[in-house]
Chains A and B, each alone.
Chain A
């Protein structure tokens, strides 16, 4: 792997007295799609929230495109080009599709080496998500779960991120939508974006990811390439099923 976009070193996090993460260390390279896999409660969402600075009690170092972001506020982290798409979508239901997109809007930015990052406009996003193009003025609250899932990704892309944290994009949506989501991730990768994906659906992860970290009880239990995981039913059995 060449230059790491995101580097996490001994990240720990607590909710109240309960420790959720134990010294996690991992990296996401530029243009790479990395999957965090593991059961519910393994700490995938918490890892993402901790990286975004959304958990008060955390320790460890998070470096993003060469800068230490471990002490920054969520909005400061977002402004450095780290996008976050939460598992529960969190669409602003009173706002229309266009207004939701506008909330996510940030100026165009560059990679550390000066290359321009992919930049997004509503028009480009509507090309990527044709469903959304049909309903630019529909309030978020009146969209189906699948449409909301697309909108939440599109809203994050409006910030012209260098890397996106994508929390369980296949959760709770129909297989057809899951397939579209996989195609979207492949498109984004082609654009040069890095993606850290949290996922439980191995079939989905197989379609899009380069590498995998398997999380269990807040610790990394296994890491390797997606091909290694796909090729080894034994590893899958050990870490991904009860």
Chain B
């Protein structure tokens, strides 16, 4: 690549950085004040692209385009305000992770709303009036609209900086970021402050989306992509730091632009297409930054956030009642193959559903192990599922490993991955840990997706069926059941053993735990590894149950599904993940078959559950039980 070509790519990167910055700045502001990680932020950005497209094409001309962009920003800001008032205001007191669930439900609902309103096709907007041409720079033609975007980013940065530093509104935002309750006690109406911050964040996301229509088509996949980008930028820059967000946006956009610019390079012994590395690159940058600077480039260590969530009850051994219930369920499940064969209400599908549910239970229980007692909120549990599934499938495909050996190798591979990633992850905490785990999962996913020769790329690996007798669904079901029961009981046993106590001690008070000789990082690292190992079992079982494995089954969606399962059941209970996984898997398998708009339906169900069971299903029943017990 010549120097000119290089500099040209730098300019390209700068224009992309503006878009990244707009969405990331909004996400950062909202998180700072409301402490809500708004997973729907990418959806607001996507709405921006669609609404601006409609203005630009329906009204058209200068008014439709430029007026439309401003109108879009305002409309999306308004939508943000509505979301805050109608939904978020009800859940500020819920555990933080529960708020994630609610905003994830919004992602599903907004995505289907866009599908319904605008249809599934990509929609490319018109060129920007006044910026249709291109300018000759460094011997190449750079669209003048890109130059406009390059300027927009720093302008918004400056405006935001001045607002935060010089205005009372800005000071209130900064104060509320630290202690919202105290701000209220000093006479500031927090509700108005929260709504306006959320609206401002949404407005920035909408503006970012609207500005993209002259460059890229509006697309239904934009929401999660934009969300992922925004997360990376915010975390790399440092949560809450607006200049950090711009710096990070520039770095990430530049790295991506350079990957594209470098293109295919022949190293003699190997040919690497760098333009395909854009997916991995941003997550690699994030991982490196977080390892070197745990709070991002310009971020500061977060002070202890005032916890308003209900504290956790001590672990009590299973009551005779619970043991009886567990044994009953187990016996019923063992009998399920007979039931499936009965003519009256049996169906072979019942066993397939049963296998799905059991795999989900292993997956959720292993995630809960580190999320609940370990306090490590992994957003990338799909990585260990993927390592297990792909490990088993590829060992069968390339080495011809027998079924049993592959099933044993799956968790071991996942364990290796968890040991490697976990070593870095336990050095962080809170949102940063969540994001680093997400980054690792994305790296695994991207590697699988792009290493076509070995993994089959987007087609995945097919034809990995278990040998007889496990090819019979009922036999495979019983195998899965046995492994699920062992996994769940073993994890439970670990939690009641000294190791589980040490893990909880490290979560409750790291300072105190270290002061009584517990190596908190190492304990949490081993916890992370155990969770990875058990999750690998689920992955291996999954590959053979479906006979195939593809990148989409280990995408970010699966990580989020896991979170939903754990939170749905209740993160503070040991039976929660089992119930949550069962409910979720059944809902997914049934609801998905009913309607084209399954996402919206799923989202609506999650919202109802969030508003009705803020402690998770099992948590809610446990509370009810205590109440009833207390009265009698």
Contact = CB atoms under 8 A, between A and B. Distances in A.
Direct A–B contact present (CB less than 8 angstroms): yes
Interface in A29-43: none
Nearest to A78: B187
A25 interface: no
B171 A16 contact: no
Contacts of B187: 75, 78-79, 104, 106, 159
A95 B171 contact: yes
A190 to B, nearest CB: 24
Interface stretch (B40-48, B119-127, B176-184, B218-226): B176-184
Nearest to A140: B178
A92 interface: yes
B303 A156 contact: no
A90 B303 CA distance: 12
B473 interface: no
Contacts of A104: 186-187
B183 A103 contact: yes
Interface string A83-107: 0101000101111000110111010
A178 interface: no
Interface string B138-178: 00000000000000000000000000000010011011011
B172 A103 contact: yes
B310 A16 contact: yes
Contact of A103 (B181, B186, B630): B186
Nearest to A155: B186
Contacts of B182: 86, 90, 92
B292 interface: no
B189 interface: yes
Contacts of A102: 168, 171
A68 interface: no
Given A99-B171, A102-B171, A94 B178 contact: yes
B72 to A, nearest CB: 33
Nearest to A156: B186
B178 A92 contact: yes
A76 B192 CA distance: 13
B186 A159 contact: yes
A54 interface: yes
A159 B183 CA distance: 12
A28 interface: no
B185 A74 contact: yes
A5 interface: no
A84 B303 CA distance: 22
B181 A54 contact: yes
B190 A75 contact: yes
By size class, the interface of chain B is 20 to 34
B179 A90 contact: yes
A99 B168 CA distance: 9
Nearest to B300: A94
B184 A103 contact: no
A92 B172 CA distance: 10
Contacts of A16: 310
Given A16-B310, A95-B174, A95-B175, A75 B188 contact: yes
Contacts of A156: 186
Contacts of B190: 75
A73 interface: yes
A113 to B, nearest CB: 22
Nearest to A103: B175
Contacts of A95: 171, 174-175, 178
A92 B184 contact: no
Chain B interface mostly: helix
Nearest to A79: B187
B192 to A, nearest CB: 9
Find the residue from A79, A90, A93, A106 having the highest chain B CB count within 10 A. Answer: A90
Nearest to B189: A75
A103 B188 contact: yes
Contacts of B179: 90, 92
Contacts of B174: 92, 94-95, 99
A52 interface: yes
Contact of A92 (B175, B185, B189): B175
A212 B188 CA distance: 31
A155 B171 CA distance: 14
Contacts of A52: 185
Contacts of A86: 182, 185
A104 B630 CA distance: 44
A93 B303 contact: yes
Interface string A103-123: 110100000000000000000
Contacts of A155: 186
A54 B183 CA distance: 12
A21 B183 CA distance: 25
Interface string B431-465: 00000000000000000000000000000000000
A67 to B, nearest CB: 16
Find the residue from A93, A94, A159 having the highest chain B CB count within 10 A. Answer: A94
Interface string B172-212: 10110111011111111110000000000000000000000
A54 B175 CA distance: 18
A73 B185 CA distance: 9
A16 B615 CA distance: 14
A74 B184 CA distance: 6
B240 to A, nearest CB: 9
A92 B183 CA distance: 9
A138 B186 CA distance: 21
Contacts of A17: 630
Nearest to A49: B185
B628 to A, nearest CB: 13
Nearest to A159: B187
Contacts of A54: 181, 184-185
Contacts of A75: 184-190
Nearest to B310: A16
Contacts of A73: 184, 189
B273 to A, nearest CB: 45
Nearest to B170: A99
Nearest to B172: A103
Contacts of B175: 92, 95, 99-100, 103
Contacts of B185: 52, 54, 74-75, 78, 84, 86
B194 to A, nearest CB: 12
Interface string B93-118: 00000000000000000000000000
A54 B188 CA distance: 13
B197 to A, nearest CB: 15
Nearest to B186: A104
Interface in B351-390: none
Interface in A191-227: none
Nearest to B188: A75
Find the residue from B183, B184, B187, B310 having the highest chain A CB count within 10 A. Answer: B187
Nearest to A85: B185
Interface of B: 168, 171-172, 174-175, 177-179, 181-190, 303, 310, 630
6 contacts: A52-B185, A79-B187, A92-B174, A92-B175, A92-B182, A106-B187
Closest 10 CB pairs of A and B: A78-B187, A90-B182, A92-B175, A74-B184, A79-B187, A75-B184, A75-B189, A84-B185, A104-B186, A103-B175
